[in-house]
């Protein structure tokens, strides 16, 4: 029998009625001739509640016990889903991570997959079971302890199972009906895409689109797992949702496929630092050690020159990071300065900026995308603070108050409301 993987997120299994709705969709696929592996998240809000309980019980918790607690939400959902399917006449069995087993590293709270042996689930399919309901987000360390994969880990679990079991497809059921050209809450002109390439989806996910977890897209691209994103709450058929696939499966792509945004960014500038080999490493090494996710980086010649006691060129260094990591970044820079690793005259932090990006594989073969983007923003009097580019994306840092206007402007400028 062909295998299909179906993943249901927290909002899709938020209560018993929604679990029943999801089970109906699973039953429909069984009737179409599939053996189905269902990956479930915890019921909506449950993981946050469990995390809060851990923090209230033990602020400086043991990471192994943290994983034992917060992984339990998925176990409940898996059992309830299996029971509901059984009541509907579908032979189903629930599986916790250790029962598969889902072998991971020992990095509690951020584990990564090592292997997913097929033997146990294949044996159940051979016995006549049609559905394996697997608790997402969790695995088993080499020491035999429960691990978790980090927030959004159930998406990654689904893709990993699709790769391990050579599934025909991996369907990600969520509260939206596909991947849009931009956030529909910002512009009503946002259009649902029929297909999008792995590379474009990876860029959009990393730049702020919340539909798919970045690690899941990386894994899908690596193992060529076809993804389909669709709604749990709509009637669906074979044409529903958005397919995430190889670039070769897309007949012809628009120059720009989507506009992404990240609202809560910060810009940090170190003024008047020594311009010498190794200065970048001296800055970004401590930031990495502090767990700061640096994104955009700009280095330029400083307006100031060293005095006679400090001859040589100087530079300014600007970088961006999530706004909730500013305190860590500031502390890392102050400690690096106190330790003599770097020296700067002033550290300026701007926490009122956002990032807006355009993404498209068509950029590889079309010139003028940057010029068009910058002209569109200029026409709306939106000033650009920092620019970063890659082969298929251009990102700009702007004042946060202009973020929604920038998204709407760029969506219109590149005609993303039109299919062709």
Query: 129 a known binding residue?
Result: no
Q: Give dist(CA 284, CA 297) in Å, integer.
A: 10
Q: Is 185 flagged in the annotation as binding?
A: yes
Is 210 annotated in some ligand binding site?
A: yes
**C-alpha span between 249 and 327 (Å, rounded):** 45
CB contact set of 330 (below 8 Å; sequence gap of 6+)? 268, 347, 349
Please name every residue paired with 170 in a beta bridge, in sequence order, or none if there are none.
5, 227
List the one residue out of 358, 355, 368 whose CA is nearest residue 393.
Answer: 358
Q: Is 372 annotated as a binding residue?
A: no
Residue 156 assigned to a binding site: no
125 known member of a binding site = no
Tell me if 175 is assigned to a ligand binding site: yes
Give the CB-side neighbour count of residue 334, counting CA atoms within 13 A.
7
Torsion of CA 218, 221, 227, 229, to 10 degrees: 40
Is residue 10 a known part of a binding site?
Answer: yes
Output the CA–CA distances (angstroms, integers) from residue 406 to 186, 304, 350, 353, in the order listed.
Answer: 10, 34, 19, 12
Torsion (CA) 328, 329, 332, 334 in degrees, nearest 10? -110
Question: Which residues contribute to the annotated binding site for ATP?
Answer: 7-10, 174-175, 180, 185, 210-211
Question: Which residues contribute to the annotated binding site for substrate?
Answer: 47, 74
Question: Which residues contribute to the annotated binding site?
Answer: 7-10, 47, 74, 174-175, 180, 185, 210-211
């Amino acid at each position: 029998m062909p295998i299909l993987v179906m993943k249901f997120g927290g909002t899709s299994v938020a209560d018993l009625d929604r679990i029943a709705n999801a089970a109906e969709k699973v039953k429909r696929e069984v009737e179409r001739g599939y053996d189905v592996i269902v990956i479930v998240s915890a019921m909506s809000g449950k993981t946050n509640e469990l995390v809060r309980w851990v923090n209230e019980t033990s602020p400086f918790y043991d990471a192994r016990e943290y994983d034992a607690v917060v992984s339990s939400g998925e176990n409940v959902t898996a059992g309830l889903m299996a029971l509901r399917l059984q009541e509907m006449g579908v032979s189903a069995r629930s599986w916790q991570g250790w029962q598969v087993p889902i072998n991971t590293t020992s990095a509690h709270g951020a584990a990564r997959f090592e292997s997913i042996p097929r033997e146990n689930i294949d044996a159940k399919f051979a016995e006549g079971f049609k559905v394996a309901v697997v608790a997402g987000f969790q695995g088993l360390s080499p020491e035999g302890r429960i691990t978790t994969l980090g927030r959004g880990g159930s998406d990654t679990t689904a893709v990993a199972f699709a790769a391990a079991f050579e599934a025909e497809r991996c369907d990600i059921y969520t509260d939206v009906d596909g991947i849009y050209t931009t956030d529909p809450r910002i512009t009503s002109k946002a259009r649902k895409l029929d297909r999008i390439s792995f590379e474009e989806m990876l860029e959009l996910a990393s730049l702020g689109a919340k539909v798919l977890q970045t690690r899941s897209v990386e894994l899908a691209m690596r193992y060529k797992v076809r993804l389909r994103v669709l709604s749990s709450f709509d009637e669906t058929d074979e044409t529903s949702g958005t397919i995430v696939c190889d670039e070769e499966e897309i007949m012809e792509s628009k120059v720009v496929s989507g506009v992404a945004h990240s609202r809560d960014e910060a810009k940090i500038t170190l003024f008047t630092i020594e311009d010498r080999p190794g200065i970048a490493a001296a800055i970004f090494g401590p930031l990495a050690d502090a767990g700061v996710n640096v994104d955009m980086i700009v280095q330029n010649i400083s307006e100031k020159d060293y005095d006679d006691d400090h001859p040589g060129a100087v530079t300014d260094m600007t970088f961006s990071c999530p706004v909730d990591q500013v305190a860590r970044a500031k502390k890392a820079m102050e400690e690096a300065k106190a330790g003599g690793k770097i020296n700067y005259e002033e550290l300026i932090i701007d926490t009122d900026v956002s990032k807006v990006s355009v993404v498209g594989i068509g950029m590889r073969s079309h010139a003028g995308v940057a010029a068009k983007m910058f002209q569109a923003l200029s026409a709306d009097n939106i000033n650009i603070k920092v620019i970063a580019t890659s082969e298929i994306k251009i990102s700009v840092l702007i004042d946060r108050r202009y973020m929604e206007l920038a998204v709407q402007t760029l969506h219109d400028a590149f005609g993303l409301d039109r299919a062709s």
